[in-house]
């Protein structure tokens, strides 16, 4: 586990558009947890899926964080600049016999069931034109979440041989996030509950690539009136620069933080919220 290392948290948005309220909740939660632990808080732009990245979105996100008083430590990392590190990890896993080539299309996988069945595991596919999958022989079906306690994951999903490298020559989020969190010394991952199930795959990689693993805490998702997760795909409205105190206050309310007095100063609001976070989640 990450115990014994200096606390290090992070916020890692995808630059597919500006931040909205849902992403602000995740950013605030991870920031407050780092502040409550007197630790470091990093920002990483998760643009490993290069076609999804929108020009200028990363700069907009960094400006929005700054406007809300969410100031990060150190340099911002960009996954699009990290391909050599991901390739090194892929080669390490290959040397351990933990990868194989796969030519299955999404349509073929879906026709066989809800989860990938390991169809190409023993079929000796060629490297050219193939994806690379992780041989998930020691799946993680349970883990402890700091906010939710013991979490049991859907077994068929947890045991799936997931992708590390796509047929379109892009490294996957699952590989990149573990490689970068390890490289940056991240000890605590506080993020939205939409990534709860993916934790099983990421922990499986952590246990092969590192002698430690981080602590996880998944906060509830902000939903729209239809019950869907607030997201850029669902056209969630962007945060407004002229509404910072109100937006921070709404995020605090969503996270059920109490005792925070109104203020026009984001620094003062975040200081109060850190005290409230410590009382609610660390006492």
**116 annotated to bind ligand:** yes
- Provide the pLDDT for residue 237: 87
- Average pLDDT of every residue of the chain: 94
| Cβ neighbours for 111, distance < 8 A, ≥ 6 positions apart | none
2-17, pLDDT tens digit by residue? Answer: 557 899 999 999 999 9
Quick count: other Cβ atoms within 10 Å of Cβ 110?
11
Query: How many angstroms separate the CA atoms of 227 and 247, rounded?
Result: 20
DSSP string spanning 111-140?
A: HH-SS---TTTTS---STT-EEEE--SS--
Main-chain dihedrals φ then ψ at residue 5, nearest 5 degrees: -85, 150
All structural domains of the chain, each given as residue ranges with its CATH number in brackets, are 8-282 (3.40.50.620)
Which residues in the chain come in under a pLDDT of 70? Answer: 1-3, 224-235
Residues forming the active site: 232
- Provide the pLDDT for residue 181: 98
**12 annotated to bind ligand:** yes
Query: How many angstroms separate the CA atoms of 104 and 170, rounded?
Result: 16
Q: Do strands 77-78 and 99-102 pair parallel, antiparallel, or not at all (unpaired)?
A: unpaired
**53 annotated to bind ligand:** no
233-279, pLDDT tens digit by residue? Answer: 656 789 999 999 999 999 999 999 999 999 999 999 999 999 999 99
Give yes or no for a contact between 76 and 47, defined as CB atoms under 8 angstroms apart. Answer: no
pTM: 0.94
Length of the chain: 283
């Amino acid at each position: 586990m990450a115990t014994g290392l200096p606390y290090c948290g992070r916020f890692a948005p995808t630059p597919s558009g500006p931040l909205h309220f849902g992403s602000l909740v995740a950013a605030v939660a991870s920031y407050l947890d780092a502040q409550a632990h007197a630790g470091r808080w990093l920002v990483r732009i998760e643009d490993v899926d290069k076609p999804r990245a929108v020009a200028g979105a990363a700069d907009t996100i960094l400006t929005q964080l700054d406007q809300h008083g969410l100031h990060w430590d150190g340099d911002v990392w960009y996954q699009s600049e990290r391909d050599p590190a991901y390739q090194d990890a892929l080669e390490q896993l290959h040397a351990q016999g933990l990868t194989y080539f796969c030519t299955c299309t999404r349509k073929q996988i879906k026709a066989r069931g809800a989860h990938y069945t390991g169809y190409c595991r023993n079929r000796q596919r060629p490297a050219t034109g193939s994806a690379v999958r992780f041989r998930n022989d020691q799946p993680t079906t349970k883990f402890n979440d700091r906010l939710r306690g013991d979490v049991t994951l859907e077994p068929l999903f947890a045991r799936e041989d997931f992708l590390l490298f796509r047929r379109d020559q892009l490294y996957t989020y699952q590989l990149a996030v573990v490689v970068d969190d390890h490289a940056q010394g991240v000890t605590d991952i506080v993020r939205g509950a939409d990534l709860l199930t993916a934790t099983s795959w990421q922990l499986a990689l952590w246990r092969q690539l590192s002698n430690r693993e981080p602590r996880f805490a998944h906060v509830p998702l902000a939903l729209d009136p239809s019950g869907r997760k607030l997201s850029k795909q669902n056209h969630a409205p962007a945060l407004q620069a002229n509404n910072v105190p109100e937006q921070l206050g709404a995020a605090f309310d969503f996270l059920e933080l109490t005792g925070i007095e109104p203020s026009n100063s984001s620094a003062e609001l975040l200081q109060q919220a850190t005290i409230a976070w410590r009382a609610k989640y660390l006492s």
